[in-house]
Structure 1
Amino acid sequence: MVSLESIEAAASRIRSSIYESPLVHSKTLSRLTGNSIFLKLENLQMTGSFKERGALNRILTMTDAERRKGVIAASAGNHGQGVAYHATQNHIPVQIWMPRSTPLVKLTATRGYGADVVLQGNNYDDACAAALEQSRERKATFIHPFDDEAVIAGQGTIGLELLKQNPDLDVIVVPVGGGGLIGGLGCAVKERHAHVEIVGVQTARLPSMKAALEGQGTASLPAQSTLADGIAVRKAGTHTLPLVRKYVDTIVTVDEDEIAAAILVLLEREKTVAEGAGAISLAAILQSKTGHRGKNIAVLVSGGNLDVTLLARIIEQGMVRDGRRLRLRVRLPDYPGALEGLAAVIAKASANIVETSYNRAHYGVGLNEAAIDITMETRGGDHTSQLLATLKDVPYEFTVVE
């Protein structure tokens, strides 16, 4: 049974091997949100997420006989890395089953930490079913990513750290997948400081815990792809759901664009890299989903294992949303110097051309015309409006490419 005592025991057990992540006050985010915002940077753990706390606590409770038979886990990435690293550190054979859709950065890291990685299925549930079958055949210990009491207690140690680092917290905002993190953290915090509000955040594409609390129990939701792949859990855990019912005040959801925007805010304003699941708590605060003003709020940045190619797309799309990236399709007369004249107008408006594509055969151009797609960087929405106003005063027919 998960209790304050079991979480305190877990904290003592894992203390020498787990980094006490900092709780950092952000003046910028505080100003943006009207609250006093503190970031709990679990993305700075050795394997890049909070998951290794629960994994290590479970490993350290194993008997010598269990250690010899090894451990098996299923994971979309972060849990697998935590299990792989700490099992290897404790000289325990480890096999991790992962879905084929696992981001390359997480797959490579898991292998690098010493695990035998097996790719199976198109989602976590497929990989988990195969891992469970393999653990039964080999009589190896299966370490569940969230529905295990020792794992939950390990994750709950974050709550103890938060209360020690800032005893004056009013609200703690936590990502929610299967519920292991928020269940353990909620228990640790509420059993000591019952007045602290615990808010969970899920992706709107897979709100499995929210659905369970609203009366659907642990029914499985249809699989969905999401930027927050680390919490893409289709159903709440049987151990975690009662904890969430008891200790969590509310659960809100955010959409994909809001998650992407939060990743970009953390990167630009806080110089902090967070994956989708790691940034989802901040997304809820930035979008005023929790309804708080003037509160001391801890926001859990739960993981930072973000694929760099995905990060590049997030940055590019974020610039488009913010009006800092603009693409125009311009019709030009097809004679020498026409493009030079257009470029001079853009340069005078202080926009930066980053990409061009010239076409004489498509988009309905005439025989003496050409169409050119020009992608530009601007300083923001106001600058973009000024540029478009300038172009309307010169003889270029153009449309904005959405």
Structure 2
Amino acid sequence: MNESDNNLNIPTYDDVLAAHERIKPYIHQTPVLTSRFLNELTGAELFFKCENFQKAGAFKVRGACNAVFGLDEKTAQIGVATHSSGNHALSLSYAAGQRGIPVTVVMPRTAPQAKKDAVIGYGGSIVECEPSTSSREATFAEVVAESGAEFVHPYNDPRVIAGQGTCSKELVSQVDNLDAVVAPIGGGGMISGTCLTLSNIAPQIKIYAAEPLNADDAARSFKAGHIIADDAPDTVADGLKVPLKDLTWHFVSNHVTDILTATEEEIVDAMKLIWKRMKIVMEPSSAVPLATILKNPELFKGKRVGIIITGGNVDLDALPWMNN
């Protein structure tokens, strides 16, 4: 553990257990699917944890519900706010709607229209910003100063990480004897929750993070031993553009086996494969794990591998291969 970790509010596995009880009425236990074709192609046994079938279409509803339903009544009535490129925005809007409290979301103007529509559909208010981390955080500071709403960070929040940890808790109860779990990494909320859960209940399972090469700040951070943040990377995996923060870096630096990257073409090819072979809708960010497994077959051959399909909120009028 790093010295700076002493200053962090690091969630525990007890927090994951409490989160699972708290959020059960508001989430699905999502299914695990398999594909004989993809097993033969990779030489591994792949088990896809389908969070694209989750409420609000993404795993992020787990952390959002844990944060919202953990608030005391006085704080909740003022409302919640966040900044997000999409899935956390609509997940927090869903959670706030379930509790009947206000929610404001700062979103990049370039965020997929499908995600903006979902936020509005769940009753959220959107304030748009430029597509950079600096613009997002500056705009958000103004929103909170004006409203006094409770900030629920998309990933660097112990309540959110504990909620995301419920996903891998379900996965290991659904699939025995996993050798590895691969999940996408942007800010690191899902990976941190995965690390939190697996390090406590299945420490033998290796944890790999999968990242777009065009937004590989986490991979570079991992190699350098400290956070390297890109302000506005450009990738088809719109959910993975944000940098690590101190709390997620704690989990990544202490528990992740490696961070693997894939090119834009490899991500789109993997996305097409899953759509064609598994007949499920998932977004580009969710294809990055399969893309990295296809790229690094020697790491996974003969292994039982869990893959977290993080979301299915894709703009059907702007699929990535339409421009190819």
Report the TM-score range of the alignment, normalised by the length of the smaller protein. Answer: over 0.9
2:302 counterpart of 1:294: yes
Q: Which amino acid aligns with 2:260?
A: V
Q: Percent identity?
A: 33
Residue identity opposite 1:314 in structure 2: W
Corresponding residue number in structure 1 for 2:293: 285
Paired letter, 1:129: A
- How many Å separate the matches in 1 of 2:277 and 2:255? 32
CA–CA separation in structure 2 for the residues paired with 1:124 and 1:78? 16
**1:146 lines up with 2:155 in the alignment:** yes
In structure 2, C-alpha distance between the alignment counterparts of 1:101 and 1:286, rounded to whole Å: 30
SS in 2 for 1:281: helix
Measured in 1, the distance between the counterparts of 2:306 and 2:269 equals: 19
Equivalent residues of 2:42, 2:297 under 8 A apart: no
Equivalent of 2:317, from 301, 309, 312? 309
Letter in 2 for 1:255: T
Superposition deviation, residue 286 in structure 1:
2.1
Partner secondary structure for residue 261 of structure 2: strand
- Asked if 1:43 is matched to 2:52, the reply is yes
Q: Measure, in 1, the Cα distance between the counterparts of 2:199 and 2:66.
A: 21
- Whether the 8 Å CA contact 2:87–2:115 is kept in 1: the answer is yes
Q: 2:166 matched to 1:157? A: yes
Secondary structure in 2 aligned to 1:218? coil
Counterpart amino acid of residue 205 in structure 1: N
Q: Which structure 2 residues correspond to residues 166-181 of structure 1 after superposition, within 5 A?
A: 166-181=175-190
5 Å-filtered alignment, 1:107-256, equals 107-215=116-224, 217-233=226-242, 235-256=243-264
Structure 2, unmatched stretches of 5+, are 1-9
> Once the 2 structures are TM-superposed, how far is the Cα of residue 3 of structure 1 from its aligned partner?
1.4
**CA shift in 2, pair 1:180/1:76, >3 Å:** same
Separation in 1, partners of 2:323, 2:284: 16
Distance in 2 between residues matched to 1:5 and 1:129, nearest whole Å: 34
8 Å CA contact 1:75, 1:124 repeated in 2: no
Other-structure match for 1:13 = 22
- The corresponding residue for 1:259 is 267
Larger radius of gyration between Structure 1 and Structure 2: 1
Figure out how many residues of one structure are paired with residues of the other and give that number: 315
Query: What's 2:3 paired with?
Result: none
Partner in structure 1 of residue 39 of structure 2: 30
* Larger relative contact order (CA 8 Å, sep ≥ 6): 2
Matching residue's letter, 2:240: I
Query: Partner of 1:91 in structure 2?
Result: 100
Q: 1:216 to 1:170 in 2, by over 3 A?
A: closer
In 1, distance between residues paired with 2:129 and 2:318? 22
In 2, Cα distance between the equivalents of 1:140 and 1:315? 40
> Contact between 1:59 and 1:87, CA under 8 Å: does it hold in 2?
yes
Task: Report Cα offsets for 1:83-134 as digits up to 9, x if no partner.
Answer: 0011011011111110111111111111111001111122344223311332
Whichever structure has more strand as a proportion of its residues is 1
- Take 2:132 and 2:114, find their aligned partners in 1: how far apart are those partners? 17
Give the distance between the partners of 1:243 and 1:16, measured in 2 at CA: 28
For residue 316 of structure 1, report the CA deviation from its aligned partner.
6.7
AA in 1 matched with 2:289: S
- Indicate if the aligned counterparts of 2:33 and 2:49 stay in contact, CA closer than 8 A: yes
| Structure with more of its chain in helix, by fraction | 2
Question: What's the TM-score, normalizing by structure 1?
Answer: 0.76
Runs (4 or more) in structure 1 with deviation over 3 Å come to none
C-alpha separation in 2, matches of 1:139 and 1:304 = 32
| Distance change (3 Å), C-alpha of 1:206 and 1:181 | same
Q: CA deviation at 1:256?
A: 0.3
Counterpart contact for 2:35–2:277, Cα < 8 Å: no
8 Å contact 1:2–1:184 — kept in the other structure?
no
Superposed displacement of residue 290, structure 1: 6.5
Structure 1 range deviating more: 113-122 or 71-80: 113-122
- The code of the aligned residue for 1:8 comes to L
RMSD over aligned Cα, in angstroms?
1.5
Partner of 2:68: 59
1:191 partner SS: helix
Aligned AA (1:293): K
TM-score by length of 2: 0.93
Cα separation, 2, equivalents of 1:141 and 1:187 = 24
Q: Matched residues in 2 for 1:2 and 1:80: separation?
A: 22
Q: CA contact under 8 A between 1:177 and 1:230: conserved in structure 2? A: yes
| Other structure's SS at 1:239 match | helix
> Which residue of 272, 290, 305 maps to 2:280?
272
SS, match of residue 202 in structure 1: strand
- Residue type at the aligned position of 2:19: A
